[in-house]
Structure 1
Amino acid sequence: MTVAIEMVSDLVCPWCWLGLRRIEAALARTPDIKVQLLFRPYELDPTIPAAGVDYKEYMGSRVTSPEGKERMAMMRQALVDYGNAEDIPYRFDAITHRPNSFDAHRLVRWAQGQGKGAAAKEALFRAYFNEARDIGSHDVLIDVARLIDLDPDIVADLLKSGADVEATRQEADMFRQMGISGVPTYIANRRVAVQGAESAEKLDRFIRHAASQLPQERPAG
């Protein structure tokens, strides 16, 4: 039997990059369990316009008090420290644009259909948090597609045509309606869940617990 782990995350969430690395490390610790890792869309702020907004202005409007700004600085430093420990090169100082992540989620959906979901997630996180690229831009998404060996011409046509817009939106809305308000969230077999960029050790235990809940296969004969 297979444990289906759905990672619900947003591509503009720095904790989600850390969460991707940690769930992958957890999978490496559980080679005895068959796991299917699936990536699901979530928009932290679906009100961001398609063209995106200025990053500093946007963050400034969300965190206005001195205490809030101090907490934000501490959170970023914690992320940088965690990133250094796990080879994640965050460069928050380089980011100037806060993109709308919806079309990036469409790209992940298509990549996942080709067995390249994790590669797409990693490439998009790197493009945004390390290279400060606008992952809401179709040109950038086409470049990312090329980087992970998807046909860039096909991806360009899909982006232009509006393919899977409704399916991606419905999926993102479904997880919000399920009560998910923070990401990353991991859901095992739609039965048990854990939220946050937990350690690989904790995610290992989560996977093993989910596997223990599966019906036992009957021996042949």
Structure 2
Amino acid sequence: MTETRPPLRIDIISDVMCPWCIIGYSQLAQALADSGTAHDIHWHPFELNPDMPPEGQNIREHVAEKYGSTPEQSAKSRDQMTALGAELGFEFRYGDDMRMHNTFDAHQLLHWANETGRMHDLKQALFTAHFTNGRNLSDTAVLADIAAEIGLDRAEALAVLEDQRFANDVRTEEKFWVSQGIQGVPAVVFNQRHLVTGAQGVDNYTQILKQLAEMPV
């Protein structure tokens, strides 16, 4: 008798300000589709810049300040990410006036969306809103608009952000993942046991899925 394998649980710790998070997810999604792997994805919050002020910061200034990158290095990295995104069907539109934003409210909205099973859809919409359309994800009205655009209730989304009802939940979850040793994103945990960090590429993810499929249930 063949033993039925349950869907692969995939926990993804990420921030919607992180370009490698959407690249890594897109690579993983392609590997999952190509291999026909049954799976169940759970997104979790991580803030790359928890102290980012509401007005945000110009991306070029931010990268130079945080990572010490020269303008040439920064431009080369953006070109690389844009090319990788295009191969995976995701459009990066970097511009000189693009800004990094505080994402604590975005994570609260994602937490709320999870209550109706729409977290994954909202996560993708937020990635697109930031990297493709350059929208301000620290603006509560913009966040509520994005929620409405995927069919969620705009007034309720705005209320969630105004009263900060999920602030403690998000902080608690963020602290949990940091306590588990997560210091950067993307971080992917398979079946709550196997941690993979960074954007691994379609081929590597395919190999990882193959190895997981060969493990005892």
The answer, yes or no, to whether TM exceeds 0.5 is yes
Which of the numbers 112, 115, 125 marks the counterpart of 1:113? 115
**Cα distance in structure 1, aligned partners of 2:57 and 2:111:** 24
Which of the numbers 193, 197, 200 marks the counterpart of 1:195? 197
Which of the numbers 11, 16, 26 marks the counterpart of 1:11? 16
Give the structure-2-normalised TM-score. Answer: 0.88
Which of the numbers 73, 89, 93 marks the counterpart of 2:75? 73
Q: Which residue of 1 aligns with 2:27?
A: 22
Query: Would the aligned equivalents of 1:95 and 1:129 in 2 still touch at CA under 8 Å?
Result: no
Query: Would the aligned equivalents of 2:186 and 2:199 in 1 still touch at CA under 8 Å?
Result: yes
Q: Which amino acid aligns with 1:18?
A: I
1:102-153 C-alpha deviation (Å, 9 max, x unpaired):
1111222222332222211111111111111111110111011011111111
Question: Residues 37 and 64 (structure 1 numbering): CA distance in 2 closer, same or farther, change over 3 Å?
Answer: closer
Which of the numbers 49, 57, 76 marks the counterpart of 2:53? 49
Matched, 1:85 2:90: no
Query: Would the aligned equivalents of 1:63 and 1:69 in 2 still touch at CA under 8 Å?
Result: no
**Cα distance in structure 1, aligned partners of 2:176 and 2:72:** 34
Query: Would the aligned equivalents of 1:192 and 1:210 in 2 still touch at CA under 8 Å?
Result: no
Question: Residues 214 and 47 (structure 1 numbering): CA distance in 2 closer, same or farther, change over 3 Å?
Answer: farther
Question: Residues 17 and 94 (structure 1 numbering): CA distance in 2 closer, same or farther, change over 3 Å?
Answer: farther
| SS in structure 2 at match of 1:187 | strand
With 22-31 and 203-212 compared, the bigger mean Cα shift is at 203-212
Question: Residues 191 and 63 (structure 1 numbering): CA distance in 2 closer, same or farther, change over 3 Å?
Answer: closer
| SS in structure 2 at match of 1:155 | helix
5+ long unaligned stretches in structure 1: 216-221
**Cα distance in structure 2, aligned partners of 1:210 and 1:193:** 12
Query: Would the aligned equivalents of 2:63 and 2:74 in 1 still touch at CA under 8 Å?
Result: no
| SS in structure 2 at match of 1:81 | helix
| C-alpha deviation, 1:211, in angstroms | 4.3
Identity %: 29
User: How many corresponding residue pairs?
Assistant: 212
Q: Which residue of 1 aligns with 2:168?
A: 166
Give the structure-1-normalised TM-score. Answer: 0.86
| C-alpha deviation, 1:213, in angstroms | 4.0
Query: Would the aligned equivalents of 1:46 and 1:100 in 2 still touch at CA under 8 Å?
Result: yes
- Structure 1 residue ranges (4+ consecutive) displaced by more than 6 angstroms after TM superposition: none
Q: Which residue of 2 aligns with 1:129?
A: 131
RMSD (CA atoms)? 2.0
**Cα distance in structure 2, aligned partners of 1:109 and 1:195:** 23
**Cα distance in structure 2, aligned partners of 1:54 and 1:196:** 24
